[in-house]
Structure 1
Amino acid sequence: MKLYVGNLSFQSSSADLEELFEAHGQVVDAAIVMDKMTNRSRGFGFVTMGSAEEGQAAINALNGKQVDGRALTVNEARPREDFGGGNGGGNRRSGGNDRDRGARRRY
């Protein structure tokens, strides 16, 4: 079971995350999401637990728990939403055109 972990201290490491969650079952993977430009923590991460039961136990134990002065948000990770592609959603600056929005142009 993959878990989202939010409101982490910016000093937290992936090892810290793994250590925090291993008390609740097998940690398959633990990773803090890093900003690509600054290579600093973005304040959230993901932990993959060995089973759904272990994941639920970690959620029950750690959601709202104070760690480094911050109340953690722990819940089941949801897949990223696809923000679409193609014509850029009809915004002029992103490639749409007036016809996409039903607008009429006067010449």
Structure 2
Amino acid sequence: MNIYVGNLAHSVTNEELRELFSEYGEVSSASIITDKNSGQSRGFGFVEMPNQAEAQEAINSLNDSSLKGRNLKVNQARPINERPRRPRY
């Protein structure tokens, strides 16, 4: 299952994200999305967990939990065509 993790502190690393989710089971990948120009964290990332039950437990446990002073927003990632479109300025 692909999991969206939002409201991340900009100092959180890929490894810290992996460690956090690995408490609930196997993690295939963990990546924080960065700005193409500056390389800085954009404050969200994705975690891939192959076991659905473990992934759901991680979502239930970690949503609205605190990491580095920020309350995480954790849910199942939706495919790009199911997300609401944001206006471009």
Same fold (TM over 0.5): yes
Structure 2 counterparts to residues 55-66 of structure 1, below 5 A = 55-66=55-66
Runs of 4+ residues over 3 Å off in structure 1 = none
Higher-Rg structure is 1
Supply the distance in 2 between the matched residues of 1:17 and 1:3 (Cα, whole angstroms): 12
Structure 2 counterparts to residues 1-107 of structure 1, below 5 A = 1-81=1-81
One-letter amino acid of the counterpart of residue 3, structure 1: I
Supply the distance in 2 between the matched residues of 1:54 and 1:29 (Cα, whole angstroms): 14
Identity over the aligned pairs, expressed in percent?
A: 48
Supply the distance in 2 between the matched residues of 1:11 and 1:50 (Cα, whole angstroms): 26
Helix, strand or coil for the counterpart of 2:81?
Answer: coil
The structure where helix makes up a greater share of residues is 1
One-letter amino acid of the counterpart of residue 55, structure 2: G
Q: Displacement, 1:41? A: 0.3
TM-score (norm 2): 0.89
How large is the Cα RMSD of the aligned pairs? Answer: 1.4
**Pairs aligned (count):** 83
Listed one character per residue, the Cα deviations across residues 29-59 of structure 1 (whole Å, up to 9, x for unaligned) are 0000010010000000000012110110100
Supply the distance in 1 between the matched residues of 2:80 and 2:8 (Cα, whole angstroms): 20
- Between 1 and 2, higher relative CO (CA 8 Å, sep ≥ 6) is seen in 2
One-letter amino acid of the counterpart of residue 43, structure 1: G
